[in-house]
Chain A
Amino acid sequence: MNLPEDLKYSREHEWVKSDGKTATIGITDYAQERLGEIVFVELPNDGEEFEKDETFGVVESVKSVNDIYAPVSGRVIESNDPVVETPEILNEDPYAEGWLIKVELTDPRELKDLMSAKEYEAFLKEEGE
């Protein structure tokens, strides 16, 4: 499984890449594989704000519909429109082309609560995978 070292991970299987002020958020390789072929993605509009653990979008695959939970609190500064139009990008390239949103962080300290690649890998093992 592909788990880039420079990303932070959440228990809800999102990844976060941050410079301390803004963050890019997506779903992990594990999440896209578990979902199967993704057919529909719903993302928030620019300017929308949400708290950590709130849902900010929806990913639908041939198997199921899943909420996407915010791994950190923030305000949306950009959404990845091509992913909405071509959801298969999310299956093909979840860490680069398949990013979901960019946010301005409300509380950068929340980044500390996220897992490193190693910790996330251990978390997946513990979950029985």
Chain B
Amino acid sequence: MKNGNLTRSGIQFEEPLLFENSTPGRKGCSFPTWKGKKHDIPPALARRQPARLPEISEPEVIRHYTRLSQWNFSIDTNFYPLGSCTMKYNPRLNEEVARYTGFAHVHPLQPQETVQGCLQLMYELERYLAEISGLSAVTLQPAAGAHGELTGILIMQAYLQSKGEKRRKILIPDSAHGTNPATAAFGGFEVVQIRTGRDGILTPEVLREYMKPDVAGLMLTNPNTLGLFERQILEVTGIVHEGGGLVYGDGANMNALMGKAKPGDLGIDILHFNLHKTFTTPHGGGGPGAGPVAVKKFLEPFLPVPRINMLPGGGAASAGGGPASGWSGAPTYALDFDQAQSIGRVRAFFGNFGMLVRAYTYIREMGPDGLQRASELAVLNANYIKARLLPHYHLPFGEGTLHEAVFSDKKQKDFHVSTLDIAKRLIDYGYHPPTIYFPLIVFGALMIEPTETETKSTLDQFCDAMIAIAQEAQTDPEKLQKAPHLSGHRRLDEAKAARELKVRYQF
């Protein structure tokens, strides 16, 4: 298929499972014969038959996984405009720095004086994130955004308990990420959903109705999942604070605010970052996530331990036999486990350290002006796509959107073409479909987030494909209803897959 100046075709391979490639007696590795004593596993627990493992040679295994890796659709291979997920390019400099021996080959149980550089990096990253968020103190431990949310909610709970307050409810707008209500419920709170106004944002009038004495706080994403800045946020956070609650900020959409507005200044008390969104560390299979949490000063005592302290150089800490951090006078860094009000650890060791190195590298590489520019370009790119697609797709909340654009299938419905059909057809054009059917307040949502790194020609090619699909919807709806046509597999029956779940190989 020809689109712009790129010739595209769907995914073409067919790969059997390792079990299907198994040949009895074939071996990929050989173990030395065991000459020790017979095992003392109780007979009732010991395996009677050999484990049913695929019998396969090493090159076969390597080819299997290499071929699978070639199917990977990633930000390294194609445009990936998955709304809300912020599929940012992962700069190669991050990878280079993460592979420095001093970062890659350390053990989390090493004596602190031998990992001063790692501790310094974490300490400084905490400071950078505090500066970017306008908040005072940061923990880097949480392993992902939802984990950061849980950490934040536990901090909220610990704070309220310390005040002797029993507040049971958390308010969450209906535009929120699904993780917000899940987190609040998991943290033991009752979730109360608030309706957003006609223009897609939370209004002080509606919030006032819900802000009762039993409300612990509000979870808010800004800009929200429609890409809209919550324009009344100062009034909104003021109402929650007046009512004795806290405001949790979901930092998933920080890529629109970074360097432009500080959540702390907007009245947010607790905020999580997604380093794998805003700060260019890899997503999902490309590497674990990281969800640091920043808080206001009065919440600092509740942060997870260990905290990282900087001890100024030249003082008692570095005198005689102190940490071997080089020249005298340099500051040293130490872990602090002694925090009586801390919610405790939320993860083993220090979080996903490799991701912290990458995020640190990105922040240092970009600098304050670069980060600001990244947000500006992310917003510009999304608005460019919005403007080009506006004549062809319905845009329910269009005014003033920032880093993403949420369309719907309302115009295509007339031709019996749905959002799912449009998404599947995009596969034929060589694109990963955007996020679909989210946020829930937009029926048939198509949520496009291009991020800042894409060139105008990439954006144009994607828009050309979307416009071509809108035209196909009118002239040849069946082509969309049956898409994709060029992929190795045609449309999968998602309902059947969910109804008749098969999660393991059937021998």
Q: Are A63 and B495 in contact (CB under 8 A)?
A: no
- Contact indicator per residue, chain B 436-461, by CB within 8 Å of chain A (1) or not (0): 11101001000000000000000000
A-side interface residues, number (CB < 8 Å): 14
Residues of B within 8 A of A87 (CB): 499
- Is B494 on the interface with A (CB-CB < 8 A)? yes
- Is A62 on the interface with B (CB-CB < 8 A)? yes
Q: Are B498 and A40 in contact (CB under 8 A)?
A: yes
Residues of A within 8 A of B438 (CB): 64
A residues 20-43 with Cβ under 8 Å of B?
Answer: 34, 36-40
Residues of A within 8 A of B436 (CB): 63
A37–B493 CA distance with the chains assembled, in angstroms: 10
Contact of B495 among A34, A39, A64, A129 (CB under 8 A): A39
Closest chain A CB from B130 CB (angstroms): 36
Q: Are A88 and B443 in contact (CB under 8 A)?
A: no
Residues of A within 8 A of B420 (CB): 36
Q: Are B495 and A88 in contact (CB under 8 A)?
A: yes
Q: Are B443 and A62 in contact (CB under 8 A)?
A: no
A88–B496 CA distance with the chains assembled, in angstroms: 10
Residues of A within 8 A of B178 (CB): 65
Contact of A37 among B440, B443, B495 (CB under 8 A): B495
B residues 118-132 with Cβ under 8 Å of A?
Answer: none
Known: A34-B443, A37-B494. A63 touches B437 (CB 8 A): yes
A34–B179 CA distance with the chains assembled, in angstroms: 22
Q: Are B498 and A64 in contact (CB under 8 A)?
A: no
Interface centre among B436, B440, B494, B495 (most CB of A within 10 A): B495
Residues of B within 8 A of A63 (CB): 436-437
Instruction: Report the contact-size class of chain B (Cβ under 8 Å from the partner).
Output: 10 to 19
Q: Are A39 and B498 in contact (CB under 8 A)?
A: yes
CB nearest neighbor in A for B499: A39
Closest chain A CB from B154 CB (angstroms): 24
Interface centre among A37, A60, A65, A88 (most CB of B within 10 A): A37
A65–B420 CA distance with the chains assembled, in angstroms: 17
Q: Are B440 and A62 in contact (CB under 8 A)?
A: no
- Contact indicator per residue, chain A 61-72, by CB within 8 Å of chain B (1) or not (0): 011110000000
A65–B443 CA distance with the chains assembled, in angstroms: 14
Contact of A64 among B440, B494, B499 (CB under 8 A): B440
Closest chain A CB from B8 CB (angstroms): 26
- Contact indicator per residue, chain A 56-94, by CB within 8 Å of chain B (1) or not (0): 000010111100000000000000000000011000000
Residues of B within 8 A of A60 (CB): 498
Closest chain A CB from B442 CB (angstroms): 11
CB nearest neighbor in B for A38: B495
Residues of B within 8 A of A37 (CB): 494-495
- Contact indicator per residue, chain A 7-29, by CB within 8 Å of chain B (1) or not (0): 00000000000000000000000
Closest chain A CB from B409 CB (angstroms): 12
Closest chain B CB from A83 CB (angstroms): 12
Residues of B within 8 A of A129 (CB): 443
Known: A37-B494, A37-B495, A88-B495. A64 touches B443 (CB 8 A): no
Residues of A within 8 A of B494 (CB): 37, 62
A39–B494 CA distance with the chains assembled, in angstroms: 9
Interface centre among A38, A62, A64 (most CB of B within 10 A): A62
CB nearest neighbor in B for A61: B495
A37–B440 CA distance with the chains assembled, in angstroms: 16
B residues 477-494 with Cβ under 8 Å of A?
Answer: 494
Closest chain A CB from B411 CB (angstroms): 14
CB nearest neighbor in B for A127: B443
Closest chain B CB from A43 CB (angstroms): 16
A40–B501 CA distance with the chains assembled, in angstroms: 11
Residues of B within 8 A of A62 (CB): 494-495, 498
Closest chain A CB from B236 CB (angstroms): 24
- Contact indicator per residue, chain B 40-63, by CB within 8 Å of chain A (1) or not (0): 000000000000000000000000
User: Which B residues are closer than 8 A to A by beta carbons?
Assistant: 178, 420, 436-438, 440, 443, 494-495, 498-499
A sample of 25 inter-chain contacts (CB < 8 A) reads: A34-B443, A36-B420, A36-B437, A37-B494, A37-B495, A38-B495, A39-B495, A39-B498, A39-B499, A40-B498, A40-B499, A60-B498, A62-B494, A62-B495, A62-B498, A63-B436, A63-B437, A64-B437, A64-B438, A64-B440, A65-B178, A87-B499, A88-B495, A88-B499, A129-B443
Please name 16 further chain A to chain B contacts, defined as beta carbons within 8 Å, in addition to the given A62-B498, A64-B438, sorted by A numbering: A36-B420, A36-B437, A37-B494, A38-B495, A39-B495, A39-B498, A39-B499, A40-B498, A40-B499, A62-B494, A63-B437, A64-B437, A87-B499, A88-B495, A88-B499, A129-B443
User: Which A residues are closer than 8 A to B by beta carbons?
Assistant: 34, 36-40, 60, 62-65, 87-88, 129
Q: Across the A-B interface, give the 10 residue pairs with the lowest CB-CB distance, nearest first.
A: A39-B498, A37-B495, A63-B437, A62-B494, A39-B499, A39-B495, A62-B495, A64-B440, A34-B443, A64-B437
